[in-house]
Amino acid sequence: MSPLLSARGWGWRWNARRAHAVQGLDLEVEAGERVLLLGASGAGKSTLLAGAAGLLDGGPDGTGEAEGQLLLDGVPAHEARQLAVAAGAGRARTGLLLQDPQAQTVLARVGDDVAFGLENHAVPAERIWPRVDAALDDVGLRLPRDHPTSRLSGGQRQRLALAGVLALQPRLLLLDEPTAMLDPEGAAALRDVVAERLAATGAGLLLVEHRVDLWVDLVDRVVVLAPGGGVLADGPVGRVLAERGDELAAAGVWLPGRAAVPAGRVRPRPPGGAGEVLLSLEGVAVGRRGSGAPVLTGVDAEVRAGSFTALRGVNGAGKSTLALAVAGLVPPVSGRVRAHPALVGGLAARRRRRPWGSPPPADDPAGWAPRDLVSRVGSVFQDPRHQFVAQTVADELAVGPRRLGLVGEQVDLRVAELLERLRLDRLARANPFTLSGGEQRRLSVATALATRPRVLVLDEPTFGQDARTWAELVDLLAGLCDTGTAVVAATHDVDLCDALAGATWWVGDGRLRTEVPVSAP
């Protein structure tokens, strides 16, 4: 019997890319096998999944160039996809689940979204709805068919996308970092559903995932792709992870039982921080914009120089909203965020002008003019792209210093220093949007540091990052705290909190609870 998936000297080069994403790949996956695909960023793991899903079609109007063969049951993968549709039985050989839950919802109602794939596969209308209900039930989404997809959480959306894939009864599930953008609860729930469905259907699995620890019990074979093309290692999980552990860790793979931070790099931080108070929150209430109703009330807390504060709690509890208030980007609904003299410094009367009433007090960060804000409080958004405003990496770093009134050499000096510190010098002339996820994250942190703020507020800085970028970020933030910068991070990342060992602000039930570690490690 021929293997379900077989690559023979297969390669793919995307349009507008010089290098091949995959080259000279020889790989066979039998039916029912569960394979974990590992490899450094840029080794072509996602490209292989797209190829297996039958989505890569070369030719004059295609998205790239193919070489060699990629076969599903002996048929070229992109033809196999079309044959499955033409067969009209509503059975696909492969089913692909991508990383971003937001980007995979097709229709407005839960039931319609699951039915979408069945309709495309020309399943007769009367046979569609029973299969939709079964698929929703399989992934544990017990919602009415007409439930709006816009009201689902990230984890629910990802399970909905999985239901849409499972409804087509694929023999090989292709999962492309399915939990990278979910909170820990959502990630665990998805993993459990996948495990349960694999057991029930006997389908195979081809998984790309940095967080090996979460999935390691589910797979029985690991394939490591080499960055230049081809396979670096292939075999049972335990053996490959043991033999190739160091290499994989260096490539940014999260391995079970291995600390991501180089030992000795992180020093214990004085709990609460011994530094002076920079910002204090006094009876602050914050609410989502537009709706007006506060999600969080009565917040009293302070931010001290050189401290690390983790802002934690479930999604929707108001972490990000509170972070925006601390960062001086959105005024609180009530109460006030007060900047102390150590932070305000010699701020002159240049404040955000208001066409009505008196000017805001000088100690209200939300009332500061943007250029006054950035030299005092820096912000790093969850999506780095939101903060990009220039055409090259170097220009991007120069924006902040220029806004502060620096010119010529002073700007160049700061830019050069940051480029080196964050390993971006090779990319100085690249367009920020063309960088990889990890590079974009480093750049967005660098832009905030360019104006040398005394408070740095970050929203989910480690979200979706590989272990290498993660370790670099931890290192950088620790260094900042050591030099007196106060760091506040809204995060789900338990490892980050452990590594930096600061105070934790727990958000939940509309309240904030402060927790200072009993003893620093």
Indicate the residue among 152 and 249 with the shorter CB distance to other proteins: 152
Candidate residues 100, 417, 495, 498; the one interacting with other proteins per rule CB under 8 A: 100
Binding track, positions 10-39, relative to other proteins; x by CB under 8 A? ----xxxxx---------------------
Indicate the residue among 61 and 409 with the shorter CB distance to other proteins: 61
User: What's the closest the beta carbon of residue 369 comes to other proteins, in angstroms?
Assistant: 6
Indicate the residue among 315 and 514 with the shorter CB distance to other proteins: 315
Q: What is the DSSP letter of 153?
A: -
Is residue 383 at the binding interface for other proteins, with CB under 8 A as the rule?
A: yes
* Contacts of 450 by beta carbon, 8 Å cutoff, 6+ apart: 397, 398, 399, 400, 401, 414, 415, 418
Is residue 400 at the binding interface for other proteins, with CB under 8 A as the rule?
A: yes
- Residue list 134-193, contact with other proteins (CB under 8 A): 148-153, 161, 164-165, 168
Q: Are 404 and 371 in contact (CB under 8 A)?
A: yes
User: What's the closest the beta carbon of residue 194 comes to other proteins, in angstroms?
Assistant: 16
Query: CA–CA distance from 201 to each of 40, 162, 369 (Å)?
Result: 31, 14, 59
- Residue list 470-509, contact with other proteins (CB under 8 A): none
Q: What is the DSSP letter of 39?
A: -
Candidate residues 11, 378, 464, 502; the one interacting with other proteins per rule CB under 8 A: 378
Q: Are 393 and 432 in contact (CB under 8 A)?
A: yes
The token duo for 460 is: 């989910």
Indicate the residue among 399 and 478 with the shorter CB distance to other proteins: 399
Q: How many helices (H) and strands (E) does the chain have?
A: 16, 19
Is residue 53 at the binding interface for other proteins, with CB under 8 A as the rule?
A: yes
Candidate residues 399, 411, 496, 499; the one interacting with other proteins per rule CB under 8 A: 399
The token duo for 34 is: 């569960």
* First-to-final CA distance of the chain: 57
| Residues that contact other proteins, how many (by CB under 8 A) | 96
User: What's the closest the beta carbon of residue 431 comes to other proteins, in angstroms?
Assistant: 5
User: What's the closest the beta carbon of residue 443 comes to other proteins, in angstroms?
Assistant: 12
Candidate residues 104, 297, 440, 465; the one interacting with other proteins per rule CB under 8 A: 104
Is residue 214 at the binding interface for other proteins, with CB under 8 A as the rule?
A: no
Indicate the residue among 63 and 514 with the shorter CB distance to other proteins: 63
Strand order from edge to edge, sheet including 377-380: 377-380, 455-459, 486-490, 308-312, 503-508, 511-515
The token duo for 310 is: 């983790």
Is residue 349 at the binding interface for other proteins, with CB under 8 A as the rule?
A: no
User: What's the closest the beta carbon of residue 245 comes to other proteins, in angstroms?
Assistant: 32
User: What's the closest the beta carbon of residue 49 comes to other proteins, in angstroms?
Assistant: 9
The candidate with the shortest Cα–Cα distance to 401, out of 437, 438, 452, 443, is 452
User: What's the closest the beta carbon of residue 364 comes to other proteins, in angstroms?
Assistant: 14
Q: What is the DSSP letter of 266?
A: P
Pairing mode, if any, of strands 503-508 and 308-312? parallel
Is residue 327 at the binding interface for other proteins, with CB under 8 A as the rule?
A: yes
Region from 26-34, 120-128, 228-236, 297-305 binding other proteins, contact rule CB under 8 A:
120-128
The 10 Å CB-count burial string (b at 16+, else e) for 290-329 is eeeebbbbebebbbbbbbbbbbbbeeebbbbbbbbbbbbb
Candidate residues 84, 162, 337, 474; the one interacting with other proteins per rule CB under 8 A: 84
Is residue 447 at the binding interface for other proteins, with CB under 8 A as the rule?
A: yes
The 10 Å CB-count burial string (b at 16+, else e) for 381-416 is bbebeebbeeeebbbbbbbbbebbebeeeebeebbe
Residues 99, 103, 104, CA angle at the centre, nearest 5°?
Answer: 80
- Residue list 405-444, contact with other proteins (CB under 8 A): 430-434
Indicate the residue among 229 and 453 with the shorter CB distance to other proteins: 453
- Residue list 296-325, contact with other proteins (CB under 8 A): 316, 324
In angstroms, the CA 52 to CA 170 distance is: 12
